């Protein structure tokens, strides 16, 4: 974590039960070599005492604009200048709303307005508050202004509910902060990646699926985040950990994947469709478990919408749309056909007949085609091949700038 060594981090703590984790965060940031100054909102004091933060950080905690002694020692403007990074963790719904609207009605929001240091927030709240349209609009506003948003994670919440809204763990936040300080080739770009299979339910216990592991899409998401991109990953059912700094949306069926992708599309610079979306789904999903009868069972299947083709002709089309193609023969010909027919900028084709690469493997090799060029990537680890493909995406975006 040496990227944070010597950094002067202003840690804003707002009102939420996750404030207790901010105490550990202070330690973790210090372990990474950073100096930490804690600024609490008034409400945060209902969850954790200032003495805890003062003891851990070795600095008096600031919380009021009107504390004359503290202002005399270091005014709020000096404090705003002192910070090389600002991290608000937890960032409550109220704090996020105030930041989005440029309020300066307490010390923390005033500092956020007065600093020219990069600001990151780690939202923490009930899942319905997080999903609320007003909250999402505020988050979009902040992102558009360059505020980094770390998390939130999915999982059990203090309120007893389960869903997105939990603050990332201290070590994850340290990793995110360290990553976001790096300026990579994809810094400032927003990428949407789909990954994994889709499961099309026949009845409450059976489904049609495929062998996609999601590893290639997850590797792309992880590498894109490491290259500085703001990454949203729409994942089918896979047992893989969310890469650090990546926003993940879990889905099951092709129709859910389409909905999640179209909802996340506005403002994206690139879309990479690695998901092995089912081409067909059962015409109907039985409400009850289907009972066996007779020797032959005929299933009626319907075509699923082609998400990739829809993204490529969408009014909010990202500038770079990348498809994947799994082929067993005439790879170049079929891949170029899909590039043209679906209106893509790049297509990455796998030869799935080749041993040692593809589906469950950690290795891959891709032939990438654009309208006027082709590139051979790998064979190698999926992370390496992902990085090479992202370099092509970065080249493409730069050429269209
Ligand atoms: N794709 C999609 N929506 C679908 C099906 C596929 O977005 N309903 C995307 C995949 O994410 C991938 C690409 O399309 O990027 C795969 O193209 P496709 O023509 O579906 O490939 P195959 O399924 O291999 O097609 P075929 O069997 O006709 O070769």
Per-residue pLDDT band for 275 (boundaries 50, 70, 90) equals very high
Q: Whole-number mean pLDDT of the chain? A: 92
Mean pLDDT to the nearest integer, 145-165: 83
Query: Annotated catalytic sites, by residue?
Result: 159
CA 109 to chain centroid, in Å, comes to 25
Q: Which atom of ligand 1 is nearest to the CA of 254?
A: 8
Residue 179: per-residue pLDDT: 76
CATH code that applies to domain 190-399:
3.40.50.10300
Residue 1: per-residue pLDDT: 38
**More confident of the two residues 156 and 77:** 77
Residue range 10-47, pLDDT digits in tens: 999 999 999 999 999 999 999 999 999 999 999 999 99
The reply to whether 190-399 shares the fold of 8-180 is: yes
CB-based contact 167:153 (threshold 8 Å): yes
Residues 6 or more apart in contact with residue 145 via CB below 8 angstroms = none
Residue 358: per-residue pLDDT: 64
Mean pLDDT to the nearest integer, 312-336: 96
Q: Is 324 in the pocket of ligand 1 (CB under 6 A)?
A: yes
Determine the residue of 212, 317, 323 to mutate for testing ligand 1's pocket, defined as the one with the most ligand atoms within 8 A of the Cβ atom: 323
- Residue 251 pLDDT more than 70? yes
Mean pLDDT to the nearest integer, 104-109: 96
Q: Is 360 helix (H, G, I), strand (E, B) or coil?
A: coil
Mean pLDDT to the nearest integer, 268-272: 97
Determine the residue of 251, 325, 353 to mutate for testing ligand 1's pocket, defined as the one with the most ligand atoms within 8 A of the Cβ atom: 325
Residues 6 or more apart in contact with residue 33 via CB below 8 angstroms = 1, 2, 4, 5, 6, 7
Residue 161: per-residue pLDDT: 79
CB-based contact 4:178 (threshold 8 Å): yes
**More confident of the two residues 298 and 67:** 298
CATH code that applies to domain 8-180:
3.40.50.1950
Residue 143: per-residue pLDDT: 83
Residue 183: per-residue pLDDT: 66
Q: Is 197 in the pocket of ligand 1 (CB under 6 A)?
A: no
Residue range 217-237, pLDDT digits in tens: 999 998 898 788 999 999 999
Per domain, the residue ranges of the chain are 8-180, 190-399
Q: How far apart are CA 95 and CA 129, in angstroms?
A: 13
3-state SS string for 64-113: CCCCHHHHHHCCHHHHHHHCCEEEEEEECHHHHHHHHCCCCCCHHHHHHH
């Amino acid at each position: 974590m040496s990227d944070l060594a010597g950094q002067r981090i202003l840690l804003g703590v707002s009102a939420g039960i996750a404030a207790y984790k901010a105490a550990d965060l202070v330690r973790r940031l210090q372990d990474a070599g950073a100096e930490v100054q804690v600024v609490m909102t008034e409400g945060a004091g209902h969850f954790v005492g200032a003495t805890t933060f003062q003891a851990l950080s070795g600095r008096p905690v600031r919380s009021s604009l009107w504390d004359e002694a503290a202002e005399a020692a270091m005014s709020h403007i000096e404090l705003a200048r002192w910070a090389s990074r600002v991290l608000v963790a937890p960032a409550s719904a109220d704090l996020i709303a105030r930041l989005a609207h440029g309020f300066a009605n307490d010390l923390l929001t005033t500092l956020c307005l007065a600093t020219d240091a990069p600001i990151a927030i780690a939202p923490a709240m009930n899942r319905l508050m997080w999903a609320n349209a007003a909250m999402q609009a505020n988050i979009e506003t902040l992102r558009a202004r360059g505020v980094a948003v770390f998390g939130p994670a999915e999982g059990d919440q203090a309120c007893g509910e389960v869903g997105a809204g939990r603050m990332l763990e201290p070590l994850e936040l340290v990793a995110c902060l360290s990553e976001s300080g790096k300026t990579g080739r994809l810094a400032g770009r927003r990428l949407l990646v789909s990954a994994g299979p889709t499961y099309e339910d026949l009845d409450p216990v059976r489904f049609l699926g495929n062998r996609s592991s999601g590893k290639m899409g997850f590797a792309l998401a992880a590498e894109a985040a490491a290259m500085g991109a703001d990454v949203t990953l729409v994942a089918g059912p896979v047992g893989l950990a969310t890469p650090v700094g990546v926003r993940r949306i879990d889905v099951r069926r092709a129709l859910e994947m389409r909905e999640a992708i179209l909802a996340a599309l506005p403002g994206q610079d690139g879309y990479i469709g690695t998901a092995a979306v089912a081409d067909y789904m059962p015409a109907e999903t039985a409400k009850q478990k289907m009972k066996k009868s007779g020797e032959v069972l005929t299933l009626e299947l319907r075509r699923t919408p082609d998400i990739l083709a829809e993204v490529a002709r969408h009014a909010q089309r990202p500038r770079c749309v990348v498809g994947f193609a799994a082929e067993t023969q005439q790879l170049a010909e079929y891949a170029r056909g899909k590039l043209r027919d679906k209106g893509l900028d790049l297509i990455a084709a796998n030869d799935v007949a080749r041993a040692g690469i593809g589906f469950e493997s950690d290795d891959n090799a891709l032939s990438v085609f654009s309208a006027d060029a082709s590139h051979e990537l790998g064979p190698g680890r999926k992370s390496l091949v992902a990085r090479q493909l992202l370099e092509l995406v970065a080249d493409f975006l730069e050429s269209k700038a």
